[in-house]
Chains A and B, each alone.
Chain A
Amino acid sequence: MNRSLLLTTVALVLCVAAGAKPWPRGQQDANHPHSSGPEIGTAAPDFTLKVVDGKGETMQLSSLQGKAVLVNFWATWCEPCKIEMPWLAELQKKYGPEGLQIIGVAVDDADAKTISDFAHKMGVNYPVLQGTEKVADMYGGVEGLPTSFFIDRSGKVSDKILGLVSESVIEDAIKKSLEQKGDTKTAAAK
């Protein structure tokens, strides 16, 4: 009987522990949903998604090998995302020549035209892709927006941020991803 009790307790502890993995930052509220996603230092999962308003064109993450990539998940219904988008456009302009490529992934039920018009209104100057549930799952479910993954030149995740943070925090994470020279032949995880 004591053994049963012990095993049940262990099971309960495991259940709690399974749901207790925190995000690194941008998470000021301990009650935020957490999502593991790819860990920092591991290869960013590769994906191919349709470019919004790209006349059927697609973009593959691994085609950007050698660049630092910021994958920004957003939606038209996300007010904090609207704050961040002009900053991202500015940072793309500033760090693009150094090898930064920002990609917006719309996690949205809105049609392509609505997404495209919205991005245009926000001054977005980087590609916006139509997200899928599969890709969101590969990145931990993307339970809250905005969510950004910073990928260094070697295709590894160098940082991840859930929620709106200041522009300087995003800029620091971009700088960190640009610093990593790494093996430029290493593509994102397939």
Chain B
Amino acid sequence: MRKTTFLSLAVILLMGAAASSQGREFVTVAPVGPVTVRVGSRAPMQITLHVQPGYHINSNKPLAEELIPTQVHFLPPEDLVIAKVEYPAGVLTSFPFDPTTRLSVYSGDVTVKAIVLPVPKAGVGTYTVHAEVKYQACDNNACYPPKKVPVAFDVKITSSTSKLPKAKPTRTSPHIHN
């Protein structure tokens, strides 16, 4: 019992140290629900980012070239294409550190939309699409290094004729390593 307690203590301490070194997340990504699409068809999907209160991130089209845009990078498996990625327009905002300049930023909830398309010869089945959200956050007096958040969601491809999809092994896009 004593040994178990000390092991638990060590694990908790290590977890605490790891969490401390990883720093704070300025943006969280809402879980993306499964998308169902028929072969020869297309389906919409969206990723919602939650920017933590008090922080902002650059929009997808920041007004200065040195600023890092918010981007979602999709890595779909071969049977799928992710197209027409649409970012919301940034909100032109000035901040206390420079009231004379306006920046194109996102804050609060940000929804990025896209279309999921199976390739013509796509097999019926469930596929996992991996993606990565890249952003760079600031608050009213400091900026924080760019971060990447991995995202994954399932896409179920069904036959263009049959209502019931045939079961197939799950396929997946390459994982993204930070």
Contact = CB atoms under 8 A, between A and B. Distances in A.
B5 A79 contact: no
B5 A77 contact: no
A80 B94 CA distance: 12
Contacts of A118: 66
A80 B97 CA distance: 6
Nearest to B9: A11
Contact of A33 (B8, B15, B23, B97): B23
Name the residue in B5, B12, B68, B143 with the highest tally of chain A Cβ atoms < 10 Å from its Cβ.
B143
A164 interface: yes
A164 B9 contact: no
Contacts, number: 106
A79 B94 CA distance: 11
Contact of A107 (B17, B136, B145): B145
A29 B97 contact: no
Contacts of B23: 33, 141, 143
Contacts of A162: 142
Nearest to A80: B97
B31 interface: no
Name the residue in A15, A82, A107, A141 with the highest tally of chain B Cβ atoms < 10 Å from its Cβ.
A15
Interface of A: 3-4, 7-8, 10-12, 14-16, 18-19, 26, 28-29, 31-33, 75-83, 107, 110, 114, 118, 141, 143-146, 162-165
A164 B99 CA distance: 14
Contacts of A82: 98
B154 interface: no
B13 A15 contact: yes
B162 interface: no
B164 interface: no
B146 interface: yes
Given A18-B20, A29-B54, A79 B138 contact: yes
B25 to A, nearest CB: 10
Contact of B141 (A14, A28, A110): A28
Interface string B97-109: 1100101000000
Given A3-B5, A32-B142, A145-B145, 15 more contacts: A11-B13, A15-B13, A18-B16, A19-B19, A28-B141, A75-B145, A78-B138, A80-B97, A80-B98, A80-B143, A107-B145, A110-B66, A143-B23, A144-B142, A144-B143
